[in-house]
Every structure is written in structure tokens, then in C-alpha cells.
């Protein structure tokens, strides 16, 4: 007997290689998958202006990329002694206006250059609930602890989200016509919005993504939300906050993703890289012992062999 239902995963048409380039943007679930890509030494760039949960600020970010539209003074502001933008996460907060603008625009330049040669774009949508700052019409990427009374909270409709996805897709095509977009819904629940409100939000995101990809050959869907919520379906797969997936859940979802979206060559290379990464993490009892020196010599030889055959891979 099989005591759980298994979520079917679409086989990737264009497989991911270590050298192909993967750009990731969106909710904090991006950082789970991005961490795995880092561990296995894939060429990747993730959340250049920090975590973004809502599709609208993600759409705005891609519009800036495709239109070569830099951040200007009107796009940043000072609050509590620091400078930030409502289009970026608080990770981009800087001490001065100049630093903030320079770093935001560097992120745009670096991202555009990366996407021009990337094979895959992974976008993880977190919520359909958005916050609009007073006097503005755009949903913010982050509220930066500004008093809540300054914002209007609203739920984006399915149609509005589809429009965001259409603009994102068009923007990507303007930069790189060959990039494949992989959409996913973050399995992290936004319970601060309320239990029923979170379900409504996820429903809007799921319906919008599926409606969009039906008519867009460039885009596909990876069911990270369904895997955690339906297939794993147990609090033992969550961290202590009972909201975020734990390491076991992330490993499981990563395994499904890599098995369906990565080439056999990269999967085989992953196994070799994982052995090296684990060895590099090892802390010996006696660093100066002969056995440890021999261990390091053999390890270095393996690293050099991989780097010789795969110049795109580097070990720190």
C-alpha cells in the first residue's frame, strides 16, 4: 500500500546545466532552491534586490530591466536614518541616498547582463495580497516598517496577476528570447494575512499562473506548493514556526526538481560536487596530521579535475 499521494511533476524540456545560467526571483522559497544551486555550484543569480513576495513588484523589476530604466531620486526615500526603495527589500537599505541608488542600479545592470545569457528564469510567487503606499498606485515590494496606516491593503485579482505575468514574459523575451521561465507558488503560508485570506491569495496565484501558461510556450509550472501542502502534508516537514519548510522538505522538493529539470550530466556532476562540498565542510581533530594532509591532497586533486573539465565551476 502507498500511504500518500504523489504530485506529478512535468519533465523539463530544456534541461538545466551547470554552465547554462539560472536566474531566480521572488519569495523566500527562491532562497531555498538558490541555496541548493549554490551548493552544487550552478551558475546562478538570485533576488538581486532582495526577497519579493508579490507579482506586481516583480513585474516592475523586469520592466526596469527591459526598458533600461534606472532608479532615480524619486524612487528612494529616507526613513529612520536609512535610505531605501519601496520597489526593493530592506536588504537594499543604505546609509546614504547615493549608496542606495548606486547599489540598486548596479543590481539592475548585473541582472540584465546575467539574463542575457541565462537559460532559465525561476519565479516564485508568494502572495496576492499587496500594500499600496499613500499617493502611489504601485504595490510595494516591502513596507520597511513604515506605519501600516500609510498603506492600503488589497488583493490582486486573477486578471491583474495574469497581466503582471504577461509583462514579465514580454520583458524576458526582449532581453533573451531563448530563456525558459519556470513559475512556482511558494508553499510558505502568509498567515499574518489570515488563514482564509492566505488560501484565497494562493488560489488567485495558482489560477493566474495556470491561465497564463496555457497560452505561453515560454513558461511552465513547477508544483512546489502542491508537493509540500498535499504530498508531504505533515508538520514534521516544517521548521519550528510551523510555516516554513524544513531541510528535509527542501531536500525532497529539490530532488524532484533536479531529477526532472536537470540533465543526466549535471545530476552525475552533482553527486561528485556534493562529496567535495561535504569533505570541505569536515573539521579534522588534528589538522597537522599526516592522514589529514593526505586527505587534503586527494581532495584538491578531485577539485582540480572537476575545474579542468568544467571551467565554469569554482570552489572557494
Degrees to nearest 5, angle at CA 41 with 27 and 275: 120
Entry field: residues in the chain:
316
C-alpha cell at 98: 547615493
pLDDT over 90 at 203, yes or no: yes
pLDDT at 41: 97
Give the span between the Cα atoms of 253 and 247, in whole angstroms.
Answer: 10
Question: First vs last Cα of the chain: how many Å apart?
Answer: 46
By three-state DSSP, how is residue 119 classified?
A: coil
pLDDT at 71: 98
pLDDT over 80 at 311, yes or no: yes
Q: Tell me which residue has cell 594532509.
A: 293
Confidence class of residue 123 from pLDDT cuts 50, 70 and 90?
Answer: very high
Each domain of the chain, given as residue ranges in start order, spans: 22-262
Instruction: Identify the CATH class of 22-262.
Output: alpha beta
pLDDT over 80 at 286, yes or no: no
Determine contact, residues 187/7, Cβ cutoff 8 Å.
no
Q: What is the largest CA-CA distance in the chain?
A: 68
Give the span between the Cα atoms of 99 and 251, in whole angstroms.
Answer: 37
Determine contact, residues 104/88, Cβ cutoff 8 Å.
yes
In degrees rounded to 5, what are phi and psi of residue 142? Answer: -160, 145
Determine contact, residues 44/109, Cβ cutoff 8 Å.
no
In the sheet that holds 22-26, the strands lie side by side as 44-46, 22-26, 120-125, 180-185, 219-221
- Residue 205 DSSP label: H
Indicate the pTM of the whole model.
0.95
Determine contact, residues 219/172, Cβ cutoff 8 Å.
no
Q: What is the pLDDT of residues 143-160, one digit of tens each?
A: 999 999 999 999 999 999
In degrees rounded to 5, what are phi and psi of residue 180? Answer: -95, 130
pLDDT at 142: 97
- Residue 20 DSSP label: T
Amino acid at each position: 500500500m502507498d500511504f500518500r499521494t504523489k504530485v506529478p511533476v512535468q519533465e523539463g524540456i530544456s534541461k538545466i546545466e551547470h554552465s547554462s545560467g539560472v536566474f531566480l526571483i521572488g519569495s523566500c522559497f527562491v532562497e531555498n532552491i538558490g541555496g541548493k544551486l549554490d551548493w552544487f555550484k550552478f551558475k546562478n543569480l538570485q533576488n538581486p534586490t532582495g526577497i519579493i513576495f508579490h507579482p506586481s513588484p516583480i513585474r516592475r523589476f523586469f520592466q526596469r530591466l527591459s526598458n533600461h530604466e534606472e532608479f532615480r531620486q524619486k524612487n528612494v526615500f529616507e526613513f529612520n536614518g536609512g535610505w531605501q526603495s519601496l520597489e526593493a527589500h530592506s536588504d537594499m537599505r543604505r546609509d546614504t541616498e547615493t549608496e542606495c541608488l548606486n547599489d540598486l542600479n548596479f543590481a539592475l545592470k548585473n541582472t540584465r547582463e546575467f539574463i542575457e545569457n541565462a537559460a532559465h528564469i525561476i519565479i516564485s510567487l508568494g502572495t496576492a495580497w499587496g500594500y499600496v503606499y499613500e499617493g502611489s498606485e504601485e504595490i510595494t515590494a516591502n513596507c520597511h516598517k513604515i506605519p501600516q496606516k500609510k498603506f492600503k491593503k488589497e488583493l490582486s485579482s486573477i486578471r491583474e496577476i495574469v497581466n503582471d505575468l504577461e509583462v514579465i514574459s514580454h520583458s524576458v523575451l526582449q532581453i533573451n528570447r531563448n530563456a525558459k521561465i519556470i513559475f512556482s507558488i511558494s508553499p510558505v503560508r502568509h498567515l499574518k494575512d489570515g488563514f482564509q485570506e492566505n488560501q484565497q491569495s494562493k488560489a488567485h496565484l495558482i489560477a493566474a499562473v495556470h491561465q497564463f501558461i496555457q497560452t505561453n510556450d515560454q513558461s511552465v509550472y513547477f508544483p512546489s506548493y502542491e508537493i509540500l501542502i498535499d504530498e508531504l502534508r505533515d508538520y514534521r516537514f516544517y521548521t519550528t514556526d510551523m510555516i516554513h519548510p524544513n531541510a528535509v522538505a527542501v531536500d525532497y522538493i529539490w530532488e524532484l526538481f533536479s531529477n526532472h529539470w536537470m540533465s543526466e550530466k549535471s545530476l552525475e556532476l552533482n553527486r561528485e560536487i556534493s562529496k567535495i562540498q561535504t569533505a570541505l565542510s569536515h573539521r579534522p581533530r588534528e589538522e597537522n596530521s599526516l592522514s589529514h594532509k593526505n586527505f587534503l591532497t586527494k581532495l584538491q586533486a578531485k577539485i582540480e579535475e572537476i575545474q579542468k573539465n568544467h571551467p565554469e565551476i569554482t570552489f572557494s
